[in-house]
Amino acid sequence: MENQSKTVWSVGATSKIAIEMQRIWASQGYSFILSSRKKTELSDIKKDLLVRGAPKVDTYSLEELTKEKPPLKMDILLIALGSLSDQKTWESSKEYRENQWATNTTLVMDWIEWGAKVIEDTGRGKICVMTSVAADRAKKSNYGYGAAKAALDFHLQGVAHRLAALGPRVFILKPGPTKTPMTAQLDQTKLADPKKVARSFTSAIKKDKTITYAPWIWKYIMLIIKLIPQKIWFKTSF
Amino acid sequence: MKQMKQGLPSWGFNPKSYGETMPINPKRKELPLKTSISSLPYGLGRSYGDSCLNNQNILCPTEFLDMLIDFDTQTGILKAQAGASLKDILNVIIPKGWFIPVSPGTKYVTLGGAIANDIHGKNHLNAGCFGNHVSEIKITRSTGEKLVCSPTTNSGLFSATVGGLGLTGLMTETTIKLKRIESKNIVANHTPFESLEEFFAINKEKEPTHQYTVAWLNTLSPNGKGIYIAGNHSTDNDLEYDNSLKTKINIPAFAPDFLLNPLSIKIFNEVYYLAQKRKRADFTTPLDSFFYPLDGVNNWNKLYGKRGFFQYQCVLPGTDTNSKQACLEMLKKISLSKQGSFLAILKTFGGIEPKGLLSFPKKGITIALDFPNNGEKTTKLFKSLDAIVREAGGRLYPAKDAHMSPNDFKSFYPQWDKMLEYKDPNISSSFWRRVTED
């Protein structure tokens, strides 16, 4: 049993933080099922994980994998799907809101539900979802993105309750602003190192820590932010 | 002119540089095509001066282009994207019994950076430069044109790219031949010396039997005082290696400017010399301590304060009396100026020809020193050191440079104009514009 490699199902495997988490797991001998919008985007990532020690890496487009799931064990389900919504477009376009919600929330919930069923059926597996610190308190600069992620937080807490008898199975991963292609247009000096964020997350999952902020300081930043009275919060220009 | 924001820095924080930062997208793998403004690929910013800067233009970090592509554990051939760091690569190759053929003094260097500066290491006598171990480079030009070059295909482009400071295009992938090792440990020994003559005597004795040799120099002594460090890979079959754990110390902010001053540096140098002097016999040390001691202090360059610092690295050709004399003259000038620092290296280069048009090493003596930025005093000192280098027929290293004159550059690197044939018209750097007066 020791030699049978564990498998990570990664949905949204091209996310930079997901890439770094996958690399850590590859060096520990995990195999992978990777999926993203375009299958072609996964070929570089596949080669990288194989060099780093993954025994087996299979790639699928999101559409393929959502329809047809290969009968392979799920030890970790990592969901890093999502794009940083443009706030102004969110406010003005119903179609944009619907599209963003579909990829950032609805599709993710579909996968969480699949994961929950697998865990109930097999008694094995962990659901690990990347939400965001943006989901902890709404602010005018990004509440569209925040809402999508906040819905996930709530959903995950419900699933955690549902699976409680089986021990810790649901892991909420909350990155603060991190240096990734998604944040290329933000001020680069204030962004966290994705390798460090990934290390915090993989370590938390291993230790069964069910909610993790990375860098850790964001836990305390958000705690304080959540406590600020509304009158004062509304005066800020975040 | 529109006020630009502060750009990514170089390691010495000098000169200050402004402009846009546009990371290379890992899915598109191309430079931004803008005709009125130039871009420059940027690795991990360990070049000291302005060769990795592009003031008032665009810098393109390659951090997302860091995938490993293939690693043949039998032949030691590694193929990877050019943004992959040596730090990352070592974690994969060392446990399999391989090492990089040429190692710089820090792991925080990308493959692209290692090639663009044709870096050298402590084993130059046997191994030459990094470019001597590169078998292929894939380049994407700013127009989107994709090219492949090697020592035998498009060899002109290859020699312009090795040591070419990123000016020929965006390196996307590269293939290198690694070196077999039996252990992650190094068996090292230290020998103190109190004069340049003593250094050369020890060098003659140690070089034939040690793969890695370098001397730390106490720049506050005018005679050439320091510690000679020599090492070989151990044969103890210990290949367990993981450098992804946290570094021990972090310098979180710029230290006050007065922290590193002639007195504190003097004290450090004396204490360091006495501490290292004791280790005469062979001792075993982990690879990271031998090759990358400063990597254990995150952001050590901030110790110099906001004023930053400069590095001066030159090579004096040959090891005959003229060059030894020139070397001694330089050491005297530096010690007299009392501007030296605690980081100074003295080493001899071997005769293996480097591959690049702008490659720095030649057979002879190299000195590399850090100097706190003392404004006019530093400029004056550098000018006087340049005169010695010029007269001896030596040259300065672009990867470290922030001051060499256009005339000096052109005479140090007589093949510089061949670069014009291969340089991408939409790529430029602060260094290039400065030394070619573009």
Which residue does chain A place closest to B72, by CA atoms? A51
- Could you tell me the pLDDT band of residue A72, with boundaries at 50, 70 and 90? confident
Contact B27 A41 (CB under 8 A): yes
Is A217 in the B-facing interface, judged by CB distances under 8 Å? no
Sign for the CA dihedral angle at B162, B104, B260, B394 comes to: negative
Spatial distance between the Cα atoms of B95 and A29, rounded to a whole number of angstroms: 14
Give B70 to chain A, closest Cα distance, Å. 6
How confident is the model at residue B2, as a pLDDT?
Answer: 54
Best residue of A51, A189, A190, A196 to probe chain B, by most B CBs closer than 10 Å: A51
Among A37, A47, A190, A191, the residue to mutate for chain B (most B Cβ within 10 A): A47
**SS3 assignment, position B336:** helix
User: What DSSP element (H or E) covers B316?
Assistant: strand B309-317
Alpha-carbon distance of B414 to B394, in angstroms, equals: 12
Quote the Cα angle for A203-A208-A213, to 5°.
60
Pairwise pLDDT comparison (A193 vs B253), residue with the higher score: A193
CB B390 within 8 A of CB B398: no
pTM of structure: 0.94
Chain A's closest residue to B20, CA to CA, is: A185
Interface contact flag, B91 A27, Cβ < 8 Å: yes
**Buried-exposed string B314-324: b where 16+ CB fall within 10 A, e elsewhere:** bbbbbbeeebb
Q: With contacts defined as CB-CB under 8 Å, which chain A residues touch B253?
A: none
Burial of A184 (0-12, 13-18, 19+ CB in 10 A): middle
DSSP B182: S
pLDDT recorded at residue B265: 80
pLDDT score at A183: 85
Which residues, including other chains, have CB under 8 Å from residue B397's CB and lie 6 or more apart? Answer: B313, B314, B315, B360, B368
Identify each DSSP E strand in chain A by its residue range: 7-11, 31-36, 57-61, 76-79, 126-130, 170-175, 211-214
Q: In this complex, do B69 and A48 lie within 8 Å of one another by their Cβ atoms?
A: yes
Give the residue carrying structure tokens 């370590």: A203
Residues A101-128: b if buried by 16+ CB within 10 A, e if exposed: bebbbebbbebbebbbebbeeeeebbbb
Neighbours of B404 (CB within 10 A): 23
Of the candidates B313, B317, B227, B301, the residue with the CA atom closest to the CA atom of residue B270: B227
Residue A119, token pair as written in the block: 């865990």
Question: How close does chain B come to A192, measured CA to CA in Å?
Answer: 13
CA–CA separation, A147 and A136 (whole Å): 9
- Residues A25, A2 contacting (CB under 8 angstroms): no
Task: Identify from B78, B92, B299 which residue to disrupt to test chain A contact, counting A C-beta atoms within 10 A and taking the largest count.
Answer: B92
CB within 8 Å of B389: residues ≥ 6 apart = B314, B316, B326, B330, B395, B396
Cα of A51 to nearest chain B Cα, Å:
6
Average pLDDT over residues A134-151: 94
Asked if the Cβ–Cβ distance from A181 to B70 is below 8 Å, we say no
Contacts of A51 in chain B (CB under 8 A): 68-71, 92
Q: How large is the greatest C-alpha to C-alpha distance in chain B, in angstroms?
A: 61
pLDDT, average across residues A212-224 = 95
Report CB contact under 8 Å: B71, A51: yes
Please answer yes or no on whether A184 and B91 come within 8 Å at the CB atom: no
A48 touches chain B (CB under 8 A): yes
The Cα B18–Cα B430 span in angstroms is 11
**B67–A44 CB contact, under 8 Å:** yes
Q: Does A185 touch chain B (CB under 8 A)?
A: no
CB B311 within 8 A of CB B371: yes
Report the gap between the CA of B255 and the closest CA in chain A (Å). 18
Mark yes or no for CB contact B69/A47 under 8 Å. yes
Tell me the residues of chain A between 49 and 88 that have a Cβ less than 8 Å away from chain B.
51-53
Residue in B176, B179, B152 with CA at minimum distance from that of residue B77: B176
CB of B81 less than 8 A from some CB of A = yes
A27 vs B contacts (CB less than 8 Å): 91-92
- What number of other Cβ atoms are within 10 A of residue B70's Cβ? 14
Dump pLDDT digits (tens) for B377-435.
999 999 999 999 999 999 999 999 999 999 999 999 999 999 999 999 999 999 999 99
Q: Is B68 left (phi over 0), alpha (psi -120 to 50) or beta?
A: beta
CB distance B63–A179 less than 8 Å?
A: yes
Residues forming a β-bridge with B217: B226
Q: For chain B, 438 residues long, give each residue's pLDDT as a single digit of tens.
A: 456 788 899 999 989 999 999 999 999 999 988 778 999 999 999 999 999 999 999 999 999 999 999 999 999 999 999 999 999 999 999 999 999 999 999 999 999 999 999 999 999 999 999 999 999 999 999 999 999 999 999 999 999 999 999 999 999 999 999 999 999 999 999 999 999 999 999 999 999 999 999 999 988 888 888 999 999 999 999 999 999 876 678 777 788 877 787 778 888 788 888 877 776 789 999 999 999 988 888 888 888 888 899 999 999 998 788 899 999 999 999 988 888 777 889 999 999 999 999 999 999 999 999 999 999 999 999 999 999 999 999 999 999 999 999 999 999 999 999 999 999 999 999 999 999 987
Residue A105 has pLDDT above 80, yes or no: yes
Query: Cβ separation of A48 and B23 shorter than 8 Å?
Result: no
Is B18 within 8 Å of chain A by CB? no
Q: What are the φ/ψ torsions at residue B148 (nearest 5 degrees)?
A: -125, 135
Beta-carbon neighbour count of residue B438 at 10 Å? 8
Tokens of B340: 């030296």
* Burial grade of B177 (CB within 10 A; 0-12, 13-18, 19 or more): middle
Q: Cα–Cα–Cα angle for A145, A116, A194, nearest 5°?
A: 45
DSSP conformation letters of B58-81? EEEE-TT---EEEEETTTTEEEEE
Run of H or E residues at B370? strand B364-372
Mean pLDDT (whole number) for A216-230: 94
- A44 touching B, CB under 8 A? yes
Mapping DSSP to helix (H, G, I), strand (E, B) and coil, where does residue B213 land? strand
Sequence letter at residue A151: A
Averaged over A75-94, what is the pLDDT?
A: 94
Q: How far is CA B221 from CA B235, B309, B341, B374, in A?
A: 37, 20, 11, 20
> What's the confidence (pLDDT) of residue B267?
80
Instruction: Pull the structure tokens for residue A83.
Output: 């794009």
A46 in B contact zone (CB under 8 Å): no
Q: How far apart are CA A142 and CA B386, in angstroms?
A: 55
